[in-house]
Chain A
Amino acid sequence: MSAPLLHLEKVTMQFGGLKAVCDFELAIRPGELVGLIGPNGAGKTTVFNVITGVYTPTRGRVMLDGAQVSGLKANRIACRGVTRTFQNIRLFPRLTCLDNVAVAAHQHRKAGLASALFGTNAFQRDEALLRAQSLEMLQVLGLGDYADAMATELAYGQQRRLEIARALAGRPKLLLLDEPAAGLNPQESEELMRLITEIRRRFSLTILLIEHDMKVVMGICERIAVLDYGLMIAEGSPSEIRSNPKVIEAYLGEDTAHA
């Protein structure tokens, strides 16, 4: 068994009196596709925020490739190869789709600020390369025709894909997807599942994904962790999770019928 790419070591995140996440332990090996599920308010997005450095955990630490990343600023963690999408889509509304993606490619630039200001040749080459790469990424996500459209002009499902394209442009090792299927119709969800499988293979990604759509989670995840009230209540393969009484209890009243 290889060493974990991401290792959350007894992570606790506390806001005032509220423990949003408590002693959360999770290890993800390179290449794995892991699902993080749980009822609303269970602390799933908080886990993402801790991994990506939006929050510094109250206790415990986050290890990436064996090095501690908790405590680093969010942009440093992104540069170490962790990018994400957001539950409530956070595109840059006043930028074109291509520019949205190019922002993420930003960290791989070579030319400095001065050469950009004076428009040197080195800078022009760098810029052309960035644009080409960003366009390619749009094409991978089937958005090649929308390069010059403003991000807000896209349909909802396309905006979700644009967010994934943008996250991929950062060339991550670990991709975090926060409810990528939310608001998609069944057909779009099907496409999304294919897409996730494809980008995972193509960019040899490790993926951690939060999702409420059980069909998606059970369909593509190899391993699933279940959070409830900030505590991990179960971890295992989709079939194990499906039959776990604790999970069923946590979801009681929610649509476990799909699972």
Chain B
Amino acid sequence: MSTFLQQLVNGVTWGSVYALIALGYTMVYGILRLINFAHGDIYMLGAFIGLYASRWFNAAKDPSPVKALLVLLTSMLLSALIGMIIERLAYKPVRKSPRLSALITAIGVSLLLENGGALVFGEDQKFFPQLIPQKTIALMAGVSISNQQLIVLVVSIVLMFGLRMFVLHTRTGKAMQAVSHSHMAASLMGISVDRIITFTFMIGSSLAAAAGVLVALQSPKIEPYMGIMPGLKAFVAAVLGGIGNIPGAVVGGLVMGIAEVMVTGYLSPTYRDAIAFVLLIVILLVRPAGIFGKAVTEKV
């Protein structure tokens, strides 16, 4: 039983990282109907920016929680900027193109970030400094959580809660909801659709970057291709929850994280990469719109 609970703790922590990435996927999809394949690579960039930022703040030699927070914020801010640039340069021109062309563009951006990253950062693994020395906190007999895991959880929850408040209660957030329903109607109501789309990319990118830094805190090996698999799986998580649905992305991410940790623990680590997709296929066959999604029927 304690092993199970321990796995659950690990699963929830890992799942909250997926949830953070999935949020960006789901928001961009909700607004553009685009699978932004480059989103996982923003997560990678977030980790690398965090690495350079912590060197800049000299955080490796002299770690402190304040510096860790600064690193996190720097990474989120710069990644938001990168997200904006990508949207303006690559996605805006293909917004009215066939969906598959837009998808290929996203894949192109993804390849560009990965290989550009390999060029700039080098292909080999880099070590992310220990910004917060690891401590283990015992929860009960046989179940513990590290302080790093706790930080991942707390920061994720704060960010997700903040996003929810933002989307539900601010003008920009409400404008985002409007744009996701209909670009046309939103622009007729005086909303600048272009601005909202750019803004959505910025928020999504900063959340992914946060996920990148949080993961690097716990498992410090980072490399330019680290975003591919988590990116794909986070997208699956978004689909699980019902794509375009913000609480759905969170639940989908948690389900995914828990399922992966359980498969690794009880079955075999080599099947870990498959469980995400098995889960996906099962859900889509049983409930094609995802857990929280609404089925959409085409008007004839």
Contacts and interface: CB of A to CB of B under 8 A. Distances in A.
Interface string A45-68: 100010000100000000000000
A54 B300 CA distance: 8
4 contacts: A45-B300, A49-B300, A54-B300, A86-B300
A49 B300 CA distance: 8
Contacts of A45: 300
B298 to A, nearest CB: 9
A66 B300 CA distance: 27
Nearest to A74: B300
Contacts of A54: 300
Interface in B262-300: 300
Interface of A: 45, 49, 54, 86
B299 to A, nearest CB: 9
Contacts of A49: 300
A75 to B, nearest CB: 14
Contacts of B300: 45, 49, 54, 86
Nearest to A49: B300
B275 to A, nearest CB: 35
A45 B300 CA distance: 8
Nearest to B298: A54
Nearest to A84: B300
A49 to B, nearest CB: 6
Interface string B224-243: 00000000000000000000
A52 to B, nearest CB: 9
A105 to B, nearest CB: 22
Contacts of A86: 300
Nearest to A90: B300
Closest 4 CB pairs of A and B: A54-B300, A49-B300, A86-B300, A45-B300
Nearest to A87: B300
Nearest to A86: B300
A152 to B, nearest CB: 15
A108 B300 CA distance: 25
A49 B299 CA distance: 10
A31 to B, nearest CB: 27
Interface in B61-100: none
A60 to B, nearest CB: 19
A86 B299 CA distance: 11
